Chain A
């Protein structure tokens, strides 16, 4: 599968699953633009993508901030042209049991994880419609389907992304644009390192594969979904979770 000549935008690409996705798409020939919230993060992405067949670069962008998204997309489009591949991966957690979940923690997660997807997608969709080709992959989570105590905000945002994706898939299908979700399970990243030992043990016991997943195992599915070969796959949510959830 080749992504030669295509510009791919990956949000939240400085670490974890986003970093692996950026690397994998770059190896497949895409010019990858990765975003991070800080300039330092953006520089690290540029460094990490410098050895790719088409060297990509990092851009500072906060998906929770409309002005930041607008100005970053302007820069990207001027520098590289309009992205035809978008991977909405940027996400945060602010876990707490519902009885203690503060409104600011609810808002922060919804703003970044759900509204952020709206902001970036809206900005790139026009270019995709013009090109009559587009690939949007939104990174959801196994907990969108399962639910997870202490993550009402996160689960709501992730489930929201899945409904968003199905609507958009219907709207844009006849323009050659596909929209899918990838729902990772328990992947070995900084985000899952925040879980405590008992949460970790409990989850591992429920995973048929009996191990954590690697970020690269998520990235390889994303690479397929954004490829020209995946043109008839749209509106789907595909799990990468070692069998934790088989919904």
Chain B
């Protein structure tokens, strides 16, 4: 079973079309990984699916980096 970190990074790679080596915990989705607004919405939806959870819009807006996503998932699942 993969860790939350591994699973989050895998989804980030799939959704944003970036290589695993480019994805650091500190990577910002928009600034470092080139995500646009639609990408970030899709990314959140993919995380919701993977971790079978619902991320409210006001929380989703705060998830701007890989670490933010990992922390959120760890705290809420």
Assembly CA distance A126 to B15 (angstroms): 13
> Are the C-beta atoms of B45 and A171 separated by less than 8 Å?
no
Question: Shortest beta-carbon distance, B13 to chain A, in Å?
Answer: 15
Q: B71 contacts the other chain (Cβ, under 8 Å)?
A: no
Q: B61 contacts the other chain (Cβ, under 8 Å)?
A: no
How many residues from A make CB contacts under 8 Å with B? 6
Chain A residues contacting B45 (CB-CB under 8 Å) are 126
**In chain A, what residue has the closest Cβ to B45?**
A126
How many residues from B make CB contacts under 8 Å with A? 3
Chain B contact residues, majority secondary structure: helix
Q: B38 contacts the other chain (Cβ, under 8 Å)?
A: yes
Q: B50 contacts the other chain (Cβ, under 8 Å)?
A: no
Q: B32 contacts the other chain (Cβ, under 8 Å)?
A: no
Assembly CA distance A119 to B45 (angstroms): 18
Question: Shortest beta-carbon distance, B20 to chain A, in Å?
Answer: 21
Q: A101 contacts the other chain (Cβ, under 8 Å)?
A: no
Q: A129 contacts the other chain (Cβ, under 8 Å)?
A: yes
Assembly CA distance A16 to B38 (angstroms): 36
Assembly CA distance A30 to B42 (angstroms): 27
Q: Which of B42-61 contact A (CB under 8 A)?
A: 42, 45
**In chain A, what residue has the closest Cβ to B36?**
A174
Assembly CA distance A126 to B45 (angstroms): 9
Question: Shortest beta-carbon distance, B11 to chain A, in Å?
Answer: 12
Q: Which of B23-77 contact A (CB under 8 A)?
A: 38, 42, 45
Assembly CA distance A171 to B45 (angstroms): 16
Q: A102 contacts the other chain (Cβ, under 8 Å)?
A: no
**In chain B, what residue has the closest Cβ to A172?**
B38
Q: A175 contacts the other chain (Cβ, under 8 Å)?
A: yes
7 sample A-B contacts, Cβ–Cβ < 8 Å, listed by A number: A126-B45, A129-B38, A129-B42, A171-B38, A172-B38, A174-B38, A175-B38
7 tightest CB-CB pairs across the interface, nearest first?
A: A129-B42, A126-B45, A171-B38, A175-B38, A172-B38, A174-B38, A129-B38
